[in-house]
Amino acid sequence: MCFSAGGIVGAGWLFAALFASQIAGPAALVSWLIGGAAVMLLALIYAELGGMYPVAAGTIRFPLYAFGGLLGFAGGWFAFLATVTAAPLEVEAALIYANNYAHTFCLDQACTKGLTPTGYLLAAVAMLVFAAINVMGVKWLSQTNKWIVFLKLAIPALAVIVLLATSFHPGNFSTSGGFMPFGWKGVLSALTGGGVIFSYLGFQTAVNFGAESRNPRRDIPFAVIGSMVIAFVLYVGLQVAFTAALSPASLAKGWRLIAFTGSGGPFAGLATALGLGWLAFLLYADSVISPGAVALIALGGNPRLTFALARSRYLPRFLGSLSGRGVPLNAIILAFVCGLLVFLPFPGWQRLAQFLLAAGVMTYALAPLALGALRLQEPDRTRPYRLPGAIALAPTGFIVANEIILITGWAIVWKLMVAILIGFALLAISALASGPKRRRSLDWISAIWLWPYLIGITVLSYWSSFNAAKPESLPMVAIKGPIGVLPFGWDLVAMAVFSLAIYVLAVRMRLSAARVQELVGETASEAEPIPTRP
């Protein structure tokens, strides 16, 4: 649970309350409720799947079991795109916040021009330390992580209590245009543009580490559900405290124009304005600790995805080996090297954060499909947690994930589709370079629905009313994009109908039960206890 909670609560909470308020006003609270409910639904689906199949990197194994080789690679590629950038992005975020004190890590205050040589050196050292902790094994990682997680959850929780007790203005929830000044479109736009969904990402970390727990069938569902409950309560409390603590004078010009200076975030700004210097100090400290802890976990999660891809014969064999401590050493080294490359000073660092969000949600979208198919393929498999009403909730979860992608905007979606095409090109090259014995079956027939799905997502995003404009200070870039042929509301309906049609088609094209058992058997050994040294 500490792994997943630590993966969820990172840099997002520091700014999301402000950005969501700028987009939705006081109704940002509704955005957090909707976002929490949406991601919780996906988490519950993962909880059943994780308990059924407690294997390393289960997030990419579930579509493999349900639909075969091509979907296994697709899920793995989506997840790889999201996780390989997570650690370096969070490390750089921590350096941006730390630059408030040292002023030597970034070329400018907001770090839009990149890191200084000192900043790059410190980032590389941080990545090396995180990699070393992961190499020591999951026990070392869990012991290190749980104290960090306790600290970074305690500080924002303390901020909620102190702000509510010190400055509470109930009129803020109805001033400057009322509770919902920008309507339902503002509420929904805040899910992505305000960083709400971005802040909830990370619950699947327990699934990726699940094979290394003592009792995976029990521990994975408990960790996934428990971490989401913690995050939900914390984020709702933070939004209420932020809205109520604002000075009414700061809202005189409307919600769009509320702002705070410095990289420490709005909560530190509120604490300073209220004369709570000690709380501001703790919040500035947590603005370094929270991203750093997420980077630590991400640098452990990505190698387990790489390990799973190698074991499934998508990547070279050496990436699927374990060290004497039972960790994927070669995959950890690859994640470390890729992380260093992400630090290169090329334009578009902020765009990579958008990729992380879009690719992560695309990964989540495959889980409801897998659950719907596997309920029919393996109805008798032991399920420590069984999702009630899955016959309705699984397609609902698929619709929810696709609606989030739609709301993200065309400027993000077209880049994601290009990245997906690059992944399929790499798969083709790998297949051509592999020998017949290592080349795996891609189960083309059961994956035939994937192509209309990707094309439909692209077209509907292009036609939708949502744009990708986001506040510049969010770790995402502001770009305008979609044509807007479909008016607001109708684009959501169109995506829901399209998603339901794809869900029905995909479940109908699922693998046979015999083929599922064959694929599960290939990875059964990974659920065995990890070798330990005396």
Rg (C-alpha) for the chain, rounded Å, is 22
In-domain check, residue 534 = no
Separation CA 404–CA 381 (nearest Å): 31
φ, ψ (nearest 5 deg) of residue 195: 80, 15
Residues 47-102: pLDDT tens digits? 888 888 877 667 778 999 999 989 989 988 888 888 887 888 778 777 776 776 67
What is the span of the domain harbouring residue 40? 2-526
Which neighbouring-strand residues pair with 468? 479
Please report which confidence band the pLDDT of residue 456 belongs to, taking 50, 70 and 90 as the band edges: very high
For 108, residues 6+ apart whose C-beta sits below 8 A from its C-beta are: none
The domain that contains 348 carries what CATH number? 1.20.1740.10
In a domain, 259, yes or no: yes
Number of domains composing the chain: 1
- Alpha carbons 270 and 529: distance in angstroms, whole number: 49
Domain for residue 149, yes or no?
yes
The answer to whether 56 touches 208, Cβ cutoff 8 Å, is yes
Residue 237, number of CB atoms within 10 A of its CB:
18
Tokens matching residue 279: 């709380």
Strands (E) across 254-402 are located at: none
Q: What is the mean pLDDT of the chain?
A: 81
Q: Which residue has the higher pLDDT, 428 or 529?
A: 428
Q: Which two tokens stand for residue 142?
A: 């869990």
Alpha-carbon distance 97 to 127, whole Å?
17
For the stretch 409-419, pLDDT in tens is 887 888 889 88
Domain annotation covers residue 292: yes
Instruction: Take residue 329 and report the two structure tokens written for it.
Output: 């050493």
- What one-letter code names the amino acid at 488? F
Confidence bin at 482 (pLDDT 50/70/90): low
C-alpha span between 138 and 120 (Å, rounded): 27
Task: Decide if 279 contacts 162 (C-beta within 8 A).
Answer: yes
* Residue at 300 is within a domain: yes
Q: What is the pLDDT of residue 521?
A: 80
Nearest CA to 126 out of 87, 181, 177 is that of 87
pTM given for the model? 0.79
Query: Which amino acid does the sequence have at 532?
Result: T
Tell me whether residue 493 is in a domain: yes
Whether 73 is in a domain gets the answer yes
- Which position has the token pair 């700014």? 15
Distance from C-alpha of 341 to C-alpha of 97, rounded to nearest angstrom: 21
Highest mean pLDDT among 254-263, 281-290, 377-386: 377-386
